[in-house]
Chains A and B, each alone.
Chain A
Amino acid sequence: MKKSLSWFTILLFCLFSLFPMLYVVSISLRGDNAFGSRSLALFNSQSTLKNFSELFLHTPFLKWMMNSLYVSTVVTLSGVILAATSGYAISRYEFKGKKIMLMSLLTTQMFPATMLMLPFFIVLSKLHLINKFLGLIIIYSSTALPFCIWQMKGYFDTVPKELEEAAKLDGCSSFQAFYKIILPMSTPALVITGLFSFMSSWSEYLVAAITLQDPELYTLPLGLKSFQASLATQWGLYAAGALVVSIPVVVLFIMISKYLVSGLTVGSVKG
């Protein structure tokens, strides 16, 4: 009895949070651009995949997707590599200015993105990086990195120093100890850091809007927004696009869910 009650509660909340999602699905399947429809039916006799074919065949959606994928992948890879190496150095080595560096990394996180818009734009145009992916990538990386570095440092702090020492006695140089022992056992932290980098660039709109002006270079959020720009918003297309955009994120989350709750260091040292 108690069990069924809790199941019921969970189901209720699931429906509650899934409802907007399902609504978007139903819109994307309607042929008639009927945003205002009152019907709650997910499917009806007129449901079609027309919006999706339209999206891929008659809009630059695929192009935008490749753009987004490119930018996000570069940001993720560089973010993970830089965060892992610098986080490790900060966690393990003492050097001058370490405290100040850590604090200033933290400080950068205190400014809201909107406040940085103008300086970003000025810097990018001075560097002739407007309308270039590189400009976007630099900004995405620099905004995501401080958090990623802190996250990796925090993780490495929990890894016992004896592991590298054992590796050294086993014949590794400092760098080998890092990439043969420490990195492989850090997969959970690396994956989460990577996910954070990916998410922060995949769905970002504001910075992309000031950096990229050529529709050819649009990333997905910009592209989606452009459906809205004309007098009559194509809600069906918009909904279909929104669904496709969210798919990679959902897939990523499912793929890495096992890492989100894992304690891989368990068992390496006493206690």
Chain B
Amino acid sequence: MNALELKNITKSFGFNTILKNVSLEVNLGEFLVLVGPSGCGKSTLLRIISGLESSSTGEVFIGGKNITLVEPQNRDIAMVFQSYALYPHMSVYENMEFSLKIRKLPPVEIRNRIHEIADLLQMTPLLQRKPKDLSGGQRQRVSLGRALARRAPVILFDEPLSNLDAHLRQQMRIEIKKIHQIFKSTIIYVTHDQTEAMTMGDRIAVLNKGQIEQIDSPFNIYHSPKNIFVANFIGTPEMNLLNGEMRNNYFVHKDFDFNISKDISSHDVVLGIRPENITLSENQGIAGTVQFFENLGPNGLLHVHTGNEVIKLFIQGQNIPKINDKVFLNVDQSKLKLFDKKSGSLIQ
């Protein structure tokens, strides 16, 4: 049985259609990450699941029950808001206690739960403070804690770590995963952050302009993107996307061409290749000049200009070509993706 299911959800504000026919199934205890560009409807989708917003058409099921018309307070869904939404007149402890009290849990249980979560999120010293006396990161942790203390079967996260510094973000990422493993709630987690999406999700759903482009494991999303949008959106630095044409097993680009041992009829295509699947070679391959080198620490990103295109590739080691050096690039044939230019979807 699915923990959560969306069937053909459409949402319009006036004439503006924000979500188009979104269908989604989330398994019990699954950690689903929802990514997509700003304004694509991620928050709106969470609000529809939580019942704060009603969908124009479509249905929401939780545990097999149709809850489309159920009020939010009766859905037993917890949510971490993009803007924290802490109760300003209550201390951290009272913020966390509030929902448990409403649900009439025994006082001992309430206390235990709050202290357990506070421990996990390292905010025991903050329990008696008011939200206004906390830093942005601390507030964010409190709003996380408030949702987690509920132990709701379904928890929605709306960019919960967006205001934390890199170090704390990494720490919290691990904490959230740990807590997920302990309580096994079903989680839908919205983020902008690629690393978060890749490391945390059991599956990733990529949303674009109100439509789900692809739902799959992080591995498949990364290595087998279904279309140009997903290929381009997932991965930092981005995948190289080269516009060209297929002609008799040759990929023909304005600046270069090379043989592809794939049987594809002639038409306009977009060739996608990730920076890590291109290597420098001595004297054969795509010719270009080095334009720029970005040092990323463990490796570096080389920008190579081929005339009309800039191709980026990872390089390692000491032998870094200098700017304006002539280089040759080799593309790992087994890793390249070909997309139909018109429809944007994967050919092979």
Q: Which residues of A does B touch, CB under 8 Å?
A: 160, 162-163, 165-173, 176, 180-181, 184-185, 187, 264-271
Partner of A267, one of B73, B82, B86: B86
* Neighbouring B residues of A163 by C-beta, 8 Å: 85, 87-88
Q: How far is the CB of A49 from the nearest CB of chain B, in Å?
A: 44
Decide: A270 near B83, CB < 8 A? Known: A165-B52, A184-B89, A265-B88: yes
Most buried by B among A165, A167, A268, A271: A268
Binds A, one of B132-140, B200-208, B214-222, B328-336: B132-140
Which B residue's beta carbon lies closest to that of A166? B85
Quick check: B83 and A169 within 8 Å, CB to CB? no
Q: Chain A residues with Cβ under 8 A from B82's Cβ?
A: 270
Contacts A162-B81, A264-B89, A268-B84: A169 and B130 contacting too (C-beta < 8 A)? no
| B73:A171 contact, CB within 8 angstroms | yes
The contact of B87 among A169, A171, A176, A268, by CB within 8 Å, is A268
Partner of A269, one of B52, B78, B84, B133: B84
Question: B146 — which chain A residues lie within 8 A by C-beta?
Answer: 166
B50–A268 CB distance below 8 A: no
B83 touches A160 (CB 8 A): yes
With A162-B85, A172-B102, A181-B87: A267-B131 Cβ-Cβ less than 8 Å: yes
* Smallest CB separation, B189 vs chain A (Å): 16
Which residue of A167, A171, A269 has the most chain B CB atoms within 10 A of its CB atom?
Answer: A171
Chain B residues within 8 Å of chain A by Cβ, number: 33
Find A264's partner among B50, B84, B88, B134 (CB 8 Å cutoff): B88
- B72: contacting residue among A162, A168, A185, A264, CB under 8 A: A168
User: B149-162 vs A: 1/0 string, CB under 8 Å?
Assistant: 01000000000000
B103 near A: Cβ within 8 Å? yes
Those 10 A-B pairs whose CB atoms lie nearest each other, nearest first? A267-B132, A170-B99, A162-B85, A267-B131, A268-B88, A171-B102, A166-B85, A269-B83, A185-B89, A266-B132
A-contacting residues, B94-153, CB 8 Å: 98-99, 102-103, 130-134, 136, 139, 146, 150
* Nearest CB of A to B91, in Å: 11
Establish whether residues B83 and A266, one from each chain, have CB atoms under 8 Å apart when the complex forms: no
* B88 and A169 within 8 A (CB): no
Nearest Cβ on chain B to A175's Cβ, whole angstroms: 11
Which residues on B sit within 8 Å (CB–CB) of A172? 73, 102
> Given contacts A168-B73, A169-B72, A171-B73, are A267 and B133 in contact (CB under 8 A)?
yes
Given contacts A171-B99, A171-B103, 5 further A-B contacts (CB under 8 A): A166-B85, A168-B52, A185-B87, A269-B84, A269-B86
User: How far does the alpha carbon of A166 sit from the alpha carbon of B134 in the complex, in Å?
Assistant: 19
A167 to B150, CA, bound (A): 13
Shortest B212–chain A CB gap in Å is 24
Closest CB in chain B relative to A156 CB, distance in Å: 14
Q: In the complex, are the beta carbons of B84 and A270 less than 8 A apart?
A: yes
A170 touches B102 (CB 8 A): yes
Q: Shortest distance in angstroms between B229's beta carbon and chain A's nearest beta carbon?
A: 29
B231 within 8 A of A: no
A266 to B84, CA, bound (A): 12
Output the residue of A162, A169, A173 with the most chain B CB within 10 A. Answer: A169
Q: Which chain A residues border B98 with CB–CB below 8 Å? A: 167, 170, 180
Q: Which residues of A contact B136 (CB under 8 A)?
A: 270
- Taking the complex as formed, is B228 at the interface, i.e. its CB lies under 8 A from any CB of chain A? no
**Contact of A166 with B73 at beta-carbon distance under 8 Å, contacts A171-B103, A267-B132 already known:** no
Which residues of chain B come closer than 8 Å to A270, judged between CB atoms? 82-84, 136, 139, 163
Residue pair B52, A268 in contact (C-beta under 8 Å): no
Within 8 A of A (CB), among B35-61: 50-52
Cross-chain contact of A169 among B50, B131, B134 (Cβ < 8 A): B50
Closest to B76 in A: A171
Q: Are B86 and A268 in contact (CB under 8 A)?
A: yes
Flag whether B346 is at the interface (Cβ < 8 A): no
In the docked arrangement, what's the CA distance between A180 and B132, Å?
Answer: 19
Q: Are B102 and A268 in contact (CB under 8 A)?
A: no
Can you report 11 residue pairs joining A to B where beta carbons are below 8 Å apart? A166-B86, A168-B51, A169-B52, A169-B73, A170-B73, A170-B99, A265-B88, A266-B132, A268-B88, A270-B136, A270-B139
Question: Is B77 located at the chain interface by the 8 A CB criterion?
Answer: yes
The residues of A that contact B139 with a CB separation of less than 8 Å are: 267, 270
Q: Please measure, in the bound complex, the distance between the C-alpha atom of A173 and the C-alpha atom of B51, giving whole angstroms.
A: 13
CA distance A185 to B131 in the complex (A): 13
- Contacts A169-B78, A171-B73 given; does A267 touch B85 at CB 8 Å: no
A160 to B150, CA, bound (A): 22
- Set of chain B residues within 8 Å of A267, measured between Cβ atoms: 86, 88, 130-134, 139
- CB within 8 Å for A269 and B85 given contacts A168-B72, A169-B77: yes
CB nearest to B134 among chain A residues = A267
B79 interface hit (Cβ, 8 Å): yes
Q: How far is the CA of A271 from the CA of B83 in the complex (A)?
A: 9
**What residues on B are CB-neighbors of A271 within 8 Å?**
83
Contact flag A266-B88 (CB < 8 Å), given A162-B81, A162-B83 = yes
Residue in A closest to B75 when the chains form the complex, CB atoms: A169
